[in-house]
Amino acid sequence: MNRLMPAPDALVGRRMDLALSKMLGVSRAKASEFIMTGEARVLGRKVTKSSPLMDTDVIEFDEPDPPRSVEPVAEDMPVVYEDEDIVVVDKPVGVAAHPSVGWTGPTVLGSLLKRGVRITQMGAPGRQGIVSRLDVGTSGLMLVCKSDLAYKEMRRQFSQHEVVKTYHALVQGNLLQDRATIEAPIGRARVSDFRFTVTPVGKAAVTHWDVLERFGLATLVSVNLETGRTHQIRVHFSSIGHPLVGDHMYGANPVLAGRLGLDRQWLHARQLEFRHPRTRIWTKVVSSYPADLLRSLEQVRAESKAKAAA
């Protein structure tokens, strides 16, 4: 039985032999052999061992799947909107959007399927129904398509930037402006497979932000994205010297995060606005802050008030 493996986000852009070696857990030489013999191939296009892995690639491999542990279910993941076409969940931190190499925790897709939610089969294997994603360490609203009609239309809306995605983020320091736009290309960082950075050779990325509340040591902002690059909000705010509180990967102060009891970046997908794929009605879904973000925000607010009163 053939095995189908969608390209993992962390390996997109890498040489095919290197990517395949990481995906299969074999040596690079063995991965090259699989490619040369045709035991491993990309659906829809011819590749060599030096071809770059693309984000749309699905690799077919002529070996049975290795034994897999049962994926846990995200029991505490609320469904905040659902009809015959779409389901919007309030994704908790620690839940991935979909299965990927090396991830053994719960996923949005797997948890919905195990709850008996019918999901369209459109999309890459293991990512069916998914038209946008959130990082494991980011909480908030995520939309998954149940019908083929919804998948086609919502994919179009996301790709054409018609969906309004509003995030709330707590960034370090006091932003000078009340509102601004960060427009800087983002690409993979050379120092790590998992980090991204502002680079002239990256893909165009545009982030708009408005200040909601100032605390001196940190600023609460509302963020809207024109583009959807991996780690876009985290990379852009780090690039202007204001990393997200708790985001150690992109330069956040670990002492501040520790004092606030925060063990992930302070980032929440707060609101989704879109035109319903079937009814065409403009639809808005809103999420509340989860307990860890709310607790740390209240502490920052209390510290700010105490300092002002001193």
**Residue 78 lies inside a defined structural domain of this protein:** yes
Q: Which residues of 66-89 are buried (b: 16+ CB within 10 A; e: fewer)?
A: eeeeebebbeebeeeeeeebbbbb
Contact 207, 181 (CB under 8 A): yes
Give the end of a domain, one of 114, 143, 160. Answer: 160
Question: Above pLDDT 70, what percent of the chain?
Answer: 96
The residue ranking higher by pLDDT, 194 or 28, is: 28
Same domain, 111 and 187: no
Angle between helices 16-24 and 28-37 (to 10 degrees): 110
Mean predicted confidence (pLDDT) in 53-57: 87
Same domain, yes or no, for 187 and 201? yes
- Dump pLDDT digits (tens) for 187-224: 988 776 678 999 999 999 999 999 999 999 999 999 99
Judgement on whether residues 186 and 229 belong to the same structural domain of the protein: yes
Instruction: Give yes or no: residues 27 and 121 share one domain.
Output: no
* 92 and 49 in a common domain: no
Do both 180 and 80 map to the same domain? no
What span, in angstroms and rounded, lies between the C-alpha atoms of 234 and 249?
Answer: 9
Which of 31-35, 232-236, 299-303 shows the lowest mean pLDDT across its residues? Answer: 31-35
Query: Are 87 and 139 within one domain?
Result: yes
Q: Which residues are catalytic?
A: 135
Q: How much is the pTM?
A: 0.77
Residue 210 and residue 278 in one domain: yes
Q: Do 310 and 177 have their domain in common?
A: yes
Strand ranges inside the chain, DSSP E: 3-6, 40-42, 58-61, 79-82, 86-91, 139-145, 164-172, 179-183, 186-188, 196-198, 206-214, 218-225, 267-275, 282-286
Same domain for 243 and 221: yes
Select the more confidently predicted residue: 8 or 270: 270
- Residue 285 counted as domain residue: yes
Query: What is the number of domains present in the chain?
Result: 3
Does the pLDDT at position 274 exceed 60?
Answer: yes
Number of H helices and number of E strands within the chain?
A: 7, 14
Q: CATH code at 25?
A: 3.10.290.10
Measured distance between the N- and C-terminal CA atoms of the chain, rounded to whole angstroms = 70
Taking only the tens place, the pLDDT of each residue in 2-20 is: 677 788 877 888 899 988 8
State the residue for tokens 């940190």: 218
Q: Are residues 254 and 124 in the same domain?
A: no
Whether residue 42 is found in the same domain as residue 166:
no
- Exposed, middle or buried: residue 142 (CB in 10 Å: 0-12, 13-18, 19+)? buried
Dihedral sign from CA coordinates of 192, 185, 163, 141: positive
Residue span of the structural domain in which 15 resides? 3-61
CATH number of residue 255's parent domain: 3.30.2350.10
DSSP letter string, 102-159: T--S-BHHHHHHHTT----S-SSTT-TTBS----TT-EEEEEEE-SHHHHHHHHHHHH
Of the listed ranges 21-25, 208-212, 264-268, the least confidently predicted one is 21-25
pLDDT tens, position by position, 114-167 = 999 999 999 888 889 999 999 999 999 999 999 999 999 999 999 999 999 999
Residue 67 falls inside a structural domain: no
Specify whether the CB–CB gap between 223 and 208 falls below 8 A: yes
- Last-in-domain residue among 117, 140, 160: 160
**Predicted local confidence at residue 69, as pLDDT:** 62
**Taking Cα atoms as reference points, which of 160, 166, 93, 89 lies closest to residue 130?**
89
Q: What is the pLDDT of residue 288?
A: 97
**66 domain-assigned:** no
What is the per-residue pLDDT across 58-84, written as a single tens digit (0 to 9) for each? 888 875 444 456 789 999 999 999 999
